Amino acid sequence: SIDSEIEPALQVLDEKGYLYEKDGNIWFKSTDFGDEKDRVVRRANGQTTYFASDIAYHKNKFERGFDKVINVWGADHHGYVPRVKAALLALGIDAERLDVVLVQFVALWRGSEKVQMSSRSGKFVTLRELRHEVGNDAARFYYVARKPEVHVDFDLELAKSQSKDNQVYYIQYAHARVCRVLEKLQNNGLVVNDTIGLEHQNLLTAPNEDELIKLLAGYPATLLRSATGYEPHVLTNYLKELAALFHGWYDSNRILPVSLTSGETPTQSEIDLMQARLRLSKAVRQVLANGLSLLGLSAPSRCHEFRVCASR
């Protein structure tokens, strides 16, 4: 436990000459490392402070071999960053190996009515209660769908709705739609042939098809930006854009030929276009599934989990 790590950490600081006693308290000379004032690590009653626990926690993290430690704190803890980095420097650890992402508070709403919470009165909604009401996927998605420095208004009713205004539903629904098309294809005794699809990619000339291909090609760069900048909202915005573009294309174009759905044998030209569009649809599904997985969200494959999802 971290409690067992506190005394060894304080001993290291003491041996380095960075602790002193004043008014019965034990202080850490954090001003020697850029902090605005020294900090108490042990009170006069012998109890160690939260800061002492944090020193031990971070020392333990780096001693376990982590190259980089990323902390996500509330914006009201911004003043805490210099003292933690001061402790790392005193321990002989490069403070640049610690990155702190500060996030703003979340306001809960039920439609137009704000859910009243107060830490002073002890009235609040726990994350467990939020997950129980709206589900894990919605809870995760809406917390990372904004820049960390932006306040989040979490609409509980919207998060539970099955509409395009519910962003996580809209993304997952796009994934399920592709799965339904592939299921329909299989039920008709056909399979996806990526070779044929690639050979006839030139047939993808309908509105939005070129835009879909370009957007898919930009996925690796989007992931790189999201990961290196600690900005998961970049990924959520990309997935929203991809889902919206796919839905617009899907609603305006047929993937499976009319002849196939009516029980007739498709012509070769219909098969060629179908395979090109199936290959494009599979690519959309793969990127959606990958992005959702990275965010810790599910990628439903069955349309009965949503509203009507007819295959086209």
| pTM confidence score | 0.84
> Domains of the chain (ranges plus CATH)?
3-103 (no CATH), 106-160 (no CATH), 167-305 (1.10.730.10)
pLDDT of residue 26: 97
Task: State pLDDT tens for residues 32-67.
Answer: 999 999 999 999 999 999 999 999 999 999 999 999
| Residue 122 pLDDT exceeds 90 | no
pLDDT of residue 226: 97
Lowest mean pLDDT among 17-21, 111-115, 143-147: 111-115
Averaged pLDDT for residues 108-130: 78
Nearest 5°: CA angle at 89, between 84 and 92? 130
Question: Backbone phi, then psi, for 118, in 5-degree steps?
Answer: -155, 120
pLDDT of residue 247: 96
Task: State pLDDT tens for residues 70-105.
Answer: 999 988 899 999 999 999 999 999 999 999 999 988
Of the candidates 207, 183, 189, 187, the one whose C-alpha atom is nearest the C-alpha of residue 278 is: 183
Measured in whole angstroms, the distance separating CA 240 from the mean position of its chain's CA atoms is 13
Of the candidates 85, 213, 114, 103, the one whose C-alpha atom is nearest the C-alpha of residue 149 is: 103
Contacts 24+ apart (CB under 8 A), 217-222: 219/287, 219/290, 219/291
* Residues in the chain, total: 312
Tokens in use for 282? 């599979």
- Report percent pLDDT > 70 for the chain: 95
The residue written with tokens 């859910």 in the block is 115
| Residue 311 pLDDT exceeds 50 | no
* Confidence grade of residue 308 (pLDDT, cut at 50, 70, 90): very low
Of the candidates 110, 137, 187, the one whose C-alpha atom is nearest the C-alpha of residue 299 is: 137
* Confidence grade of residue 120 (pLDDT, cut at 50, 70, 90): low
* Confidence grade of residue 258 (pLDDT, cut at 50, 70, 90): confident
pLDDT of residue 1: 66
| Cβ proximity of 40 and 51 under 8 Å | yes
Task: State pLDDT tens for residues 232-255.
Answer: 999 999 999 999 999 999 999 999
Question: Backbone phi, then psi, for 254, in 5-degree steps?
Answer: -95, 135
| Burial (0-12, 13-18, 19+ Cβ within 10 Å), 194 | middle
Task: State pLDDT tens for residues 170-197.
Answer: 999 999 999 999 999 999 888 999 999 9
Alpha-carbon span 157 to 10, nearest angstrom:
49
Tokens in use for 185? 């294809």
| Cβ proximity of 280 and 213 under 8 Å | yes
pLDDT of residue 237: 97
* Confidence grade of residue 207 (pLDDT, cut at 50, 70, 90): confident
Nearest 5°: CA angle at 243, between 304 and 176? 20
| Residue 123 pLDDT exceeds 90 | no
Averaged pLDDT for residues 287-296: 97
pLDDT of residue 108: 86
pLDDT of residue 307: 41
Which value, to the nearest 10 degrees, does the dihedral of the CA atoms of residues 76, 79, 80, 82 take? 150
Q: Average pLDDT of the chain? A: 91
pLDDT of residue 7: 95
| Cβ proximity of 93 and 14 under 8 Å | no
What is the C-alpha end-to-end distance of the chain, expressed in Å?
Answer: 57
